[in-house]
Amino acid sequence: MRVGIVGFASSGKTTLFNTLTGLDADTGFGRKDKVNTGVIDVPDERLDKIAEIINPRRIVYAKITFTDVPGGSSGGNALDAQMLQEIRNVEALAHVVRAFQSPLVAGAPDPLKEIRDFQDELKIADQIIIERRIERLAREKGNELEKALLPRLLEHLESGHPLRTLDLNEQDLNLISGYRFISLKPIIIVINVAEDAVTSDETNALIQKVQQELGITPFAISAALEAEIAQLEPEEQEAFLSDLGITDTARDRFVQSAYASLDLISYITQGVEEVRAWTIKRDTHAKRAARAIHSDLERGFIRAEVIPFDAFMHYRSEQACKDAGKARVEGKDYIVQDGDILHIRANV
């Protein structure tokens, strides 16, 4: 999955990027023009446990590619054409909001305003595209379905709502997929707080407020502190975190929070060659889920053979699961569950 780290200047995007990827991109003032990219494995104990049993040649974790997209200041044209292009290319957004006092920015932080302003940026960018398209469609022959749909999108944006809160069916989504609207993308809000404020009352109040206003549960972190911790050796990291009363690294917490708020799950494929996780949206049916592996598998989908993870752990082999009646054969409409071990049969 590709996640764009977005937000206004000096909110701590690159600091968060470094924390998550373990890389060392330049932070601080005047580093606005560079887009950073890094890939991480999504930790998944289930893969390790299956591998212990079947000893595959390799384990392939799901991956998240982070793109750190610089942004301008709130109030101006924060996102130029190149930045918008970068954002269109990702599948989900992590919006970093500054809630710490910064020597680089005058005045006290105002995270709620920053959230509202950035949400507006996303909506306006989409609105401009839609308005232009509607104008052109008025002059040209075009798809009638699209002609009917676009004004609905525009109205939703004009009344102040991002496209992701509009009820769109699969046909609608297919019609507009080429536009890669940015207010349609699922979003995580990362509130970057001062080192001593991760669990403060003020932070908790802010989290609640954002939850009420946007229906999104934000994730609070002190990126600068976590970036320092991420530079330590693994054993030191653990000791340091447990001193702070934190059990997981920022990366682990971020990934968990991202999967929960983007409503993602993983299914697993296994064999002597590899044990591997594939990320999909919750409530995806088996045929569509096959696309994560290859679009040919979706096109030629015949059936899915399913073993729940817990059954595999209990019976410890595919054959034993079958003998115990724990392996099922499912059709294209089966809703894939988190941790399902699948064999997808297809005509390819």
Ligand X SMILES: Nc1nc2c(ncn2[C@@H]2O[C@H](COP(=O)(O)OP(=O)(O)OP(=O)(O)O)[C@@H](O)[C@H]2O)c(=O)[nH]1
Q: Where on the chain is the footprint of ligand X (CB under 6 A)?
A: 9-15, 27-28, 31-32, 70-71, 100, 102, 104, 192, 194-195, 222-224
Least separation, in Å, of the C-beta of 91 and ligand X? 21
Q: Which residue has the tokens 């600068």?
A: 224
Chain length of the chain: 348
Least separation, in Å, of the C-beta of 263 and ligand X? 26
Least separation, in Å, of the C-beta of 323 and Mg ion? 56
Closest CB to Mg ion: residue number: 14
- Hey, what's the torsion of the CAs at 93, 98, 104, 108, to 10 degrees? 150
The closest alpha carbon to 95, from 66, 124, 115, 70, belongs to 115
Separation in Å, CA 231 to CA 20, 126, 234, 286? 11, 38, 9, 41
Q: Which does 176 bind (CB under 5 to 8 A by kind): ligand X, Mg ion, none?
A: none
- Longest Cα–Cα distance in the chain: 68
User: Given the complex with Mg ion, which of 50 and 188 has the nearer CB atom?
Assistant: 188
Q: Which does 15 bind (CB under 5 to 8 A by kind): ligand X, Mg ion, none?
A: ligand X
Q: Which does 339 bind (CB under 5 to 8 A by kind): ligand X, Mg ion, none?
A: none
The DSSP element (H or E) to which 184 belongs, if any, is none
SS3 at position 326: coil
Among 14, 18, 67, 222, binds Mg ion (CB under 5 A): 14
Least separation, in Å, of the C-beta of 6 and ligand X? 9
SS3 at position 186: coil
Amino acid at 194: A
User: Given the complex with ligand X, which of 192 and 284 has the nearer CB atom?
Assistant: 192
Least separation, in Å, of the C-beta of 69 and ligand X? 9
User: Given the complex with Mg ion, which of 14 and 269 has the nearer CB atom?
Assistant: 14
∠ at Cα 2 (17, 251), nearest 5°? 40
The region of 13-21, 138-146, 175-183, 296-304 touching Mg ion under the rule CB under 5 A is 13-21
The residue ranges that bind Mg ion (CB under 5 A) are: 13-14
